[in-house]
């Protein structure tokens, strides 16, 4: 109904609604809209990038993380979609005017390691653990140039992070990355998003040990401010607890 109120205030209200919609944080929603490459700010110099891969007839998202430092960009995992190996590097260079200098893969599956050899050819220093390298060789996956032989703390510019192997879970070799200053846990596929309804791909999983590995993380790092899972949303920091619930349900259903 056209009223004096609607004629006078209607455009203003529509503008306000649009502005409120535009200002709603998008960081937890990146996975809900399939695309080729999506980069989402997390906090400060930390960014989540998402690529998709077809599983059956549906695209499924995979998350990676990168952090911008004065020395260059440190990348964790590679895109799942091989067509996005170069676009990710180009997007980072355009957005931050810096090159990727280091790439660390968190386990041997293709959604983590697929771009390692391509990135090595670009002069990027690529890393996996020795266990991941052995599994990558055995399964015909891409391999890094450098090996991480034990849990180690690193510093690149002002960014500090720790590589931690909590034990087997999603895969025998899955590691997590901890950023103590920001209290960010990059969990990779060891950690299930609160959006997940099951444990996903169990082809290389050890469900019996998985719960203990998650508990090791909680004991070592406490409650992170941000928890980034390998797939789906990161819109709250309860993914570790949710993973334990999924594992309990799995064991109960066996």
Active site residue 139: no
Catalytic, out of 45, 77, 81, 111 = 111
Asked about 107 being catalytic, the answer comes back as: yes
User: Choosing from 77, 81, 107, 231, which is the catalytic residue?
Assistant: 107
Active site residue 201: yes
Q: What span, in angstroms and rounded, lies between the C-alpha atoms of 214 and 212?
A: 5
Active site residue 36: no
* Residue 170 among the catalytic residues: yes
CB 114 within 8 A of CB 126: no
The candidate with the shortest Cα–Cα distance to 65, out of 180, 182, 196, 188, is 188
The span from the first CA to the last CA of the chain, in angstroms, equals 59
Out of 63, 77, 109, 174, pick the active-site residue: 109
Q: Which of 53, 96, 122, 201 is flagged as catalytic?
A: 201
Residues designated as active site: 107, 109, 111, 170, 201
């Amino acid at each position: 109904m056209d009223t004096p109120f609607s004629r006078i205030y209607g455009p203003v209200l529509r503008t306000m609604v649009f502005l409120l919609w535009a200002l709603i944080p998008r960081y937890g929603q990146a996975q809900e809209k399939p695309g080729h490459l999506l980069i989402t700010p997390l906090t400060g110099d930390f960014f989540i990038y998402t690529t998709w891969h077809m599983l059956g007839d549906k695209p499924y998202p995979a998350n990676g993380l990168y952090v911008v430092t004065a020395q260059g960009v440190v990348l964790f995992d590679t895109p799942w979609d091989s067509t996005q190996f170069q676009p990710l590097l180009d997007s980072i260079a355009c957005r931050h005017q810096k090159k990727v200098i280091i790439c660390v893969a968190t386990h041997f599956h293709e959604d983590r390691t697929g771009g390692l050899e391509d990135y090595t050819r670009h002069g990027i220093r690529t890393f996996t653990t020795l266990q991941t390298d052995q599994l990558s060789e055995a399964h015909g996956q891409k391999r890094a140039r450098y090996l991480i032989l034990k849990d180690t703390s690193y510093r690149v510019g002002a960014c500090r992070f720790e590589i931690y192997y909590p034990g087997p879970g999603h895969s025998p070799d899955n590691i997590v990355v901890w950023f103590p200053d920001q209290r960010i846990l990059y969990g990779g596929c060891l950690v299930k998003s609160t959006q997940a309804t099951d444990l996903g791909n169990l082809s290389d999983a050890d469900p019996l040990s998985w719960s203990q590995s998650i508990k090791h993380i909680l004991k070592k790092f406490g409650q992170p401010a941000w928890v980034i899972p390998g797939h789906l949303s990161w819109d709250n920091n309860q993914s570790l607890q949710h993973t334990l619930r999924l594992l309990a349900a799995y064991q109960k259903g066996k």
